[in-house]
Amino acid sequence: MGMTITEKIFAAHAGRDGVTPGELINAKLDIVLANDITAPIAIKEFRKSGAKKVFNKDKIVFVPDHFAPNKDIDSAEQCKLLRDFAREHDLTNYFEVGKMGVEHALLPEQGIVVPGDLIIGADSHTCTYGALGAFSTGVGSTDVAAAMITGEAWFKIPQTIKFIYSGSLNKWVSGKDLILYTIGDIGVDGALYSSMELTGEVIDSLPMSGRLTMANMAIEAGAKNGIIQPDEITKKYVETRAKREFKFYESDPDASYSKVIEYDCTKIEPQVACPHLPENTKPVSEVSDITIDQVIIGSCTNGRLDDLRVAAEIMKGKTVAKYLRVIVIPATQQIYKDAMAEGLFDIFIDAGAAVSTPTCGPCLGGHMGILAKGERALATTNRNFVGRMGSPESEVYLANPAIAAASAITGKITSPDAL
């Protein structure tokens, strides 16, 4: 029996010829990631263990991005813990404000994660890197502490669900819509502790930005990871970025899947996830006359240059609705520079939007866009749980950048076609 791409990556990193779902293994790690919320806990556990040095200073990545730039004294103390530890252990990949970005956009952009890697991160959206053909998943801070010492982690091999996206995409439909549609179909526990292998002719033609978005939200279906077989699009993306050697793995023709689910993408229109779960999805045509108070365009899900270009295309020459706050957050400094050079910031600012330095900020209800009681936001982020972006009595709707931009102009959830 053949193996899936996920199983092959595990076998290679465990020094095994093969693995099967349900097995417990110990595997060597290529990258260990943490941020300003999760790294402080890992650092404290590292020190409690009595460890004197990290297993490899090149393979540990610290990105202060959640409450950075520091929003208050507590967040400043959190970030200082990262800075001090990175200095003490001479970590190669510590990203200070001014160089940092939203971690899951930053690491692929900088070539720190590459195809074939085995990666853990103390953040649930670490699964983003599966878009490159790597295995990546979120873990707890104590697992990160152990990994910083040993360079290894234990795993239970997940079963794999194969998703086949056939047909072609309708106008304004993107990777964000495909993954929202999928989560709406299978539910937030529909892929529980499974690997979501995303395949089909639509995925084959999807740009890297869309692939990263889809893998990013695999966790919202309960998956252990999302993964896409690397191809020429992957190669073009990584070959000028990669900091080290990489390897393309692919699933065997006779690999075993727990389930195969197929979607005809010609039937999918832009999606909106309504409060308070990512599975509560509806076509944008069925979500009308819902007024909003805030629009967020950004995050590790949709803060890339392609996303900003789509939003700017729709907002150009128009004005943000009165009494509406629109906050645009490029996901990295490089994206910030590129968007500025292309004149996208002029479009956003002329329309009445605010542009921020890279930060996770509002996505987790941290800063840079908190909601008050009774307010509604439309965001290109990945979660819309109760209180996710502020008051427990606020509401968050999730959508792609095109819907977000159109809604920014009208002041209510709107299809781009309506403009």
**Do 66 and 155 belong together in one domain?**
yes
In a domain, 205, yes or no: yes
Low-confidence ranges of the chain (pLDDT < 70): none
**Do 56 and 189 belong together in one domain?**
yes
**Do 217 and 325 belong together in one domain?**
no
**Do 256 and 124 belong together in one domain?**
yes
**Do 395 and 322 belong together in one domain?**
yes
- Three-state SS string across the chain, please? CECCHHHHHHHHHHCCCCCCCCCEEEEECCEEEEECCCHHHHHHHHHHCCCCCCCCCCCEEEECCCCCCCCCHHHHHHHHHHHHHHHHCCCCEECCCCCCCCHHHHHHHCCCCCCCCEEEECCHHHHHHHHHCCEEEECCHHHHHHHHHHCEEEEECCEEEEEEEECCCCCCCCHHHHHHHHHHHHCCCCCCCEEEEEECHHHHHCCHHHHHHHHHHHHHHCCCEEECCCCHHHHHHHCCCCCCCCCCCCCCCCECCCEEEEEEHHHCCCEEECCCCCCCEEEHHHCCCCECCEEEEEHHHHCCHHHHHHHHHHHCCCCCCCCCEEEEECCCHHHHHHHHHCCHHHHHHHHCCEECCCCCHHHHCCCCCCECCCCEEEECCCCCCCCCCECCCCEEEECCHHHHHHHHHHCECCCHHHC
**Do 244 and 321 belong together in one domain?**
no
**Do 100 and 79 belong together in one domain?**
yes
**Do 383 and 323 belong together in one domain?**
yes
**Do 217 and 360 belong together in one domain?**
no
**Do 289 and 325 belong together in one domain?**
yes
In a domain, 309, yes or no: yes
CATH number, position 256: 3.30.499.10
What pLDDT, on the 0 to 100 scale, is given for residue 288?
77
**Do 320 and 173 belong together in one domain?**
no
Q: How many domains does the chain have?
A: 2
For residue 377, the enclosing domain spans 272-418
What pLDDT, on the 0 to 100 scale, is given for residue 1?
81
In a domain, 267, yes or no: no
Among 210, 242, 262, where does a domain finish? 262
Among 244, 262, 280, where does a domain finish? 262
